[in-house]
Amino acid sequence: MNETGKHSILIVDDESQNITALSHILGLQYTVYAAKSGQEALAAAWFLPDIILLDTEMPEMDGYAVIEALKDSEKTRDIPVIFISEPGAADEIKGLSLGAADFITKPFDCDIVMLRVQNQINTLARLQAMEYDVMNYKLASEAMNIALWSMEVVVDDPVNPENRFIWSPEFRNMLGYSDENDFPNILRSWSDRLHPDDKEKSVVAYAAHINDYTGKTPYYIEYRLKHKNGRYRYYDGFGTTLRTGDGIPIRVSGAIRDITEKKMIEKAHEQQNNLLRAVNRAASALLKAVDDDKAFLDSLREGMEIIGCCVDVDCVEVWQNEMIDGRLHGAQ
């Protein structure tokens, strides 16, 4: 669609009367451009018309050669091409195999021309809407750090490790993988990477959700998965199940979200709070024994042990020895 708000049509035909006829049919609804040779068509296509109407029979460079060149270019390969031909003259099998979207025969029927062009415009609009939805999904996934998955449920064995899954590209990428070769579409790709301490509860929660035919058991759980780099990261997983009227599961779909940074912040806050409490306890013990060297040293050791539970043990040990040695030398 150009700046006028109309979709654009490029008509390619070496006969002026054909260009005039098609322009008359399409000109009120679309912005029409024209080219009278294959070379002109390739140059004009660089400006990306929405549809190309392309004559199959032209001197020097026919329509089949033109469409091959269009499809070889990354920039123009997705432009729909409708071939123009004399009745019975076009090789439709060849044209379709080269990527033609449709055919229009001469002499032109106004209604047929409009309908075939409009069909391609409608298809183009649907594809653009789908691309827009996919782009929005990718942006939302990246912003929220979410990745989708889906599984066809085997009623007799819903947690069979060989059950077929659909892991989204975002799911694989989140775990450091790229395709089905290194992350197959089976349950085991997920379950085998669960942290040993999280595996049983995660699989049990997943099975409990699927096997509850009332649909009242939610599926939401936090667990750790091994990244391709060998390190475990934290995720929360959630999902829902499509069921028959009897509650039998048909398909379960859901998502995971990487919450590693959130967990690290929570742990840092917890350690900070523990350290502050430990320092307060150690300070209280030291104040009670400040006038008694032996009691002071005993309290100091106790305080260092308390703090050592919250910070780097090696650093505390060095500091503890230096403090106690200094106090002993002072007492002597």
Closest by CA position to 26, among listed 126, 122, 112, 125: 112
- DSSP string of 50-93, one letter each residue: SEEEEES--SSS-HHHHHHHHHHSTTTTTS-EEEEE-TTTS-HH
Residues 246-274 have a mean pLDDT of: 84
Burial of 154 (0-12, 13-18, 19+ CB in 10 A): middle
Specify the amino acid at residue 59: P
Largest CA distance in the chain: 117
Q: What distance in Å separates the CA atoms of residue 304 and residue 296, rounded to the nearest whole number? A: 12
Higher pLDDT: 144 or 266? It is 266
> Residues near 252 by Cβ (< 8 Å), separated by ≥ 6?
150, 151, 153, 158, 209, 210, 219, 239, 240, 241, 242
Q: Look at residue 309 in the predicted model and tell me its pLDDT.
A: 56
The total of other beta-carbon atoms located within 10 Å of residue 71's CB is 16
Maximum mean pLDDT: which of 1-5, 117-121, 272-276, 324-328: 117-121
**85-101 average pLDDT score:** 82
* The pLDDT of residue 319: 42
Model confidence band, residue 286 (pLDDT cutoffs 50, 70, 90): low
Residue with tokens 């490790």: 161
Segment of 247-256, 281-290, 296-305, 309-318 carrying the highest mean pLDDT: 247-256
∠ CA(112), CA(113), CA(114), 5° rounding? 90
Question: What values do phi and psi take at 228, rounded to 5?
Answer: -60, -25
For residue 137, is pLDDT > 50?
no
pLDDT band at 323 (very low <50, low <70, confident <90, very high): very low
Can you tell me the distance from the alpha carbon of 62 to that of 44, in angstroms, rounded to the nearest whole number? 16
Q: Are 191 and 161 in contact (CB under 8 A)?
A: yes
Structure-model confidence comparison of residues 83 and 308, the more confident one? 83
Range list of H helices, the chain = 16-26, 38-45, 63-72, 92-97, 110-144, 169-174, 188-191, 196-211, 260-288, 293-308, 313-331
285, pLDDT greater than 70: no
Parallel, antiparallel, or unpaired: how do β-strands 146-152 and 165-167 relate? Answer: antiparallel
Nearest to 98 by CA among 56, 38, 128, 126: 56
Residues found in the chain: 332
64's tokens:
């089949």
Instruction: Say what the pLDDT of residue 155 is.
Output: 60
Return d(Cα 82, Cα 95) in angstroms, integer: 9
Vertex 99, ends 97 and 103: CA angle to 5°?
90
Q: Assess contact for 34 and 56: CB atoms under 8 A.
A: no
Read off the pLDDT of each residue in 275-287 and give the average, rounded to a whole number: 66
- Residue 296 main-chain phi, psi, to 5 deg: -65, -45
Whether residue 300 has pLDDT greater than 60: no
Specify the amino acid at residue 273. N
